[in-house]
Chains A and B, each alone.
Chain A
Amino acid sequence: MKKKLIALLCGTSMVMGLLTGCGSTTENAAPADQAQTAEVKEESTPQAAGTDEAPAAEGGEDYSTPLPSDYSGTLTMWGWDDPYFQAVTQGFNELYPNVTFEYTPMANGDTLQKYQTALASGTELPDVAWAIIDSRAKVYELDMWEDLSAAPYNFDINEVMEFTRPSLVNSKGMVCGIEQCICPAGLGYRKDLAKEYLGTDDPKELEAMFPTWEAFIAKGKEVYEKSGGTVYMFQGLGDAEQFIREQEGKSWIEGNTIKMTDALQRSIELAAELRDNNCCDQLEAWSNAWYASFGESNHIFVGCATWSIASPIAANDPSGESEGHWGLMNTPEGNVSWGGTCMGITKTCQDKRLAWEFVKYACLSTEGAKASGSIGYFTSAIKPYEEDPELKNFTSPWFGDQNLGEMFIDEIAPNVTRRPMNLDDNAIHETLSLVTTAMTNDPSMTAEAAMEMLKEELEMRLPDYTIE
């Protein structure tokens, strides 16, 4: 009998041990979470008791009034921009010191995969979710977002700059997020090289020198020859081609058709001309050599969005801080919007009231604009910059005394157009990178051959579409 009992206990413990491993993380985490919440509540109770304005319950549907300053809670986020996270959460904690954040670093290229895997497996999503522009069309179709334009959030999309609005909305008309910051991009240039090879480092004179890409290419050829083949206009063909194609602002896909000729041909043709006239070096964007080139004196121009100032420019040009190496100018034939990350609230968020307070703070408030401004970012909200025009002032030692904030907000942002988002844009974007790499590696590849290759690759990559 005793033996039987021991055997039964052994067998049961083995099976239980196995099944314990199968338990979901959420269930395992629940007691710990409850304990944490209880602890936080206990701490905050005496302070909360003293406040007149208690937060509305989630069912109360009133998110317009601010939370009491002693409100406590925790928000989780997965993201890829640590400086931004630090800046806005520190600013938020000045208003709400009892709110804590749990931040999980994630590569922006993994966004779609991480969210869809979490959805399919039923594991937890972050409370405040980020969505990068590259994969946003698909990410916004996932059944995970709160509609910020609906009650209780009641976000008015007219509060943000016009060019950002279409990319906040999914195909069902839901506003799934708000831009962390605007990403208008002009051309950054090395002032020392511009002075030496173009005769001036004044942005207005340079803009007058390059009204079109054709003028840019003609000058690029001269620079290459004058420097004995050591100085180029751009670091790589991909950098230039990406800029040119975004200037078009045309949708890549319409219905079931990829508008290859209409939306992409000009950028491929200009890329071939840039290459044939030695305007572009052979560096692949985001490679180690490409990063290192910011600290070298071999390339005059780089694409420069708001985020480019901190990285890659400042991060890879240590001597530029004291010497003010860089300048910012308008791009020939128009500026573009380059990049962008939205923040939205997930359906599974435990404290949507708090999450909305944070998103409102970071993306719409004047205080949030100040916090973003501390790292050279500018929110898409219109009001903060009307209320406090000083917020537009931003200089960086790398750009001398040039007022970059004013240039980005007043000159570049109002005139950029953003290409409409489509579900398969990321596949087309990747295929374009493949083609520009092939064009760089094979100098004999003509624009026609590159277009033919693009067509073949797109047919292979997206066989359900018609290529036009």
Chain B
Amino acid sequence: MKTKRRSSLAKWPYIYLAPFFISYFLFFIFPTFYSLFISFTDWDSLVGEAGRQFVGFANYVRLFTKDKLFFKAMGNTFLFMIIYIPLLIIGGLVLAVLLYQLKRSSRFFQTVNILPYITTPVAIGVIFATLFDTTTGIVNKTLALIGLFDDPVNWLGNPATARFIVILMIVWKNFGYYLLIYLAGLSTIPEEISEAAKVDGANAFQVFWRITVPYLRPMTVFLVLTSIISGFQLYDEPYLLYSSQNSVMGGPQRSCMTAIMYFYDQTFKSSTRLGYGAAVSYGLFVIIMIVSMIVSRLIDKKEQ
């Protein structure tokens, strides 16, 4: 009797879990494998789905042997990450420690720092494009007013300054997030340890370096890995900075074109090759996987 009842109940967990698994399959598993499949075809919107042919690894061969713009986009992405990730990690950590020690108004400063993070990216793109406009931008007006430059700087028209502005946008926007994670981490450090160190004669820097930083290591590892993954997906900031009608995709000399921008451009914007676009996304996936593995290996090795 009991066994029968148990077997009749056995199906209910599956029924209750079905909505999740069905949606997971429809919106994650299926698109993932379907895009892998179409990356082996020459599917072009101009020809239509019916006319697509299986081309084996031809898209991948073109991507890795012929497509210089893909490598330029990858190079730009790496460059941005190499600069902004350390800035965010170090800046977020130092500011979190300073704010944590602040007895008054710490909530106010936390709120001020988190505001850019919750601002919509479109607004940020417009704000920065307006701020750094050569002729009407407030930055050039201010620099001229204080006599730093006579001629206006073409911030958005020069590859080096354009990259600088993209990095500034990313740092400004994400600073609050890094700060919050580190503040959460700081609250887990037992105060007795720092106090004992101070009694033993350690100065503020030694407490920071020998106690705070090691204790926050899990947060740092988390932030580094998630920053690398999100860094490869960088799109909003550079795209919005150059989203006006006549702007070139990726800015001056394509100095701000990132890998995802390139994927979008190849698939939907200037080209219609869905098959090749899928190959670009899988090429990017392979690179992200390799870099993430190397970084996590390095971190593991250091921990051992």
Contacts and interface: CB of A to CB of B under 8 A. Distances in A.
A440 B157 contact: yes
Interface in B239-287: 244-249, 252-254, 268-272, 274
Contacts of A284: 157, 246-247
A317 B253 CA distance: 33
B245 A430 contact: no
A244 to B, nearest CB: 17
B12 A143 contact: no
B230 interface: no
Given A8-B15, A437-B248, A438-B253, 13 more contacts: A17-B19, A18-B19, A22-B26, A113-B268, A116-B268, A138-B272, A283-B135, A430-B249, A433-B248, A434-B253, A438-B252, A441-B158, A463-B62
Interface stretch (B41-49, B98-106, B218-226): B41-49
Contacts of B154: 282, 441
Interface stretch (B66-74, B109-117, B177-185, B203-211): B66-74
A248 interface: no
Contacts of B108: none
A461 interface: yes
Interface size range of chain A in the complex: 35 or more
Interface of B: 12, 15-16, 18-19, 22-23, 26, 45-46, 48-49, 62, 66-69, 72, 130, 133-136, 154, 157-158, 244-249, 252-254, 268-272, 274
Contacts of A112: 268-269, 272
Contacts of A434: 248, 252-254
State the majority secondary structure of interface residues on A. Answer: helix
27 contacts: A11-B15, A112-B268, A113-B268, A113-B269, A117-B268, A119-B45, A119-B48, A120-B49, A138-B272, A141-B46, A238-B246, A284-B247, A286-B246, A289-B134, A289-B135, A430-B248, A430-B249, A433-B248, A434-B253, A437-B248, A438-B252, A440-B157, A441-B252, A457-B254, A460-B69, A463-B66, A463-B67
Max chain A Cβ within 10 angstroms of own Cβ: one of B22, B66, B133, B272: B272
A285 B246 contact: yes
Contact of B72 (A119, A282, A287, A460): A460
A441 B268 contact: no
B16 A11 contact: yes
A441 B252 CA distance: 10
A375 to B, nearest CB: 20
A109 B245 contact: yes
A284 B12 CA distance: 64
Nearest to A14: B19
A238 B130 CA distance: 21
Nearest to B274: A120
A116 B272 contact: yes
B158 A287 contact: no
Contacts, number: 100
A7 interface: yes
B275 to A, nearest CB: 12
Contacts of B22: 15, 18-19
B69 A461 contact: yes
B245 A288 contact: no
Given A138-B46, A437-B157, A287 B133 contact: yes
A427 interface: yes
Contact of B134 (A138, A282, A426): A282
Given A282-B134, A287-B133, A288-B136, A142 B45 contact: yes
A289 B46 contact: no
A215 interface: no
Given A11-B16, A18-B23, A430-B270, A463 B136 contact: no
A292 interface: yes
A120 B278 CA distance: 14
Nearest to B248: A434
A264 to B, nearest CB: 16
B266 to A, nearest CB: 10
A94 interface: no
A441 B157 contact: yes
B12 A11 contact: yes
A426 B12 contact: no
A459 interface: yes
Contacts of B19: 14-15, 17-18
A458 to B, nearest CB: 11
Max chain A Cβ within 10 angstroms of own Cβ: one of B45, B66, B274: B45
Given A18-B22, A441-B252, A459-B68, A288 B272 contact: no
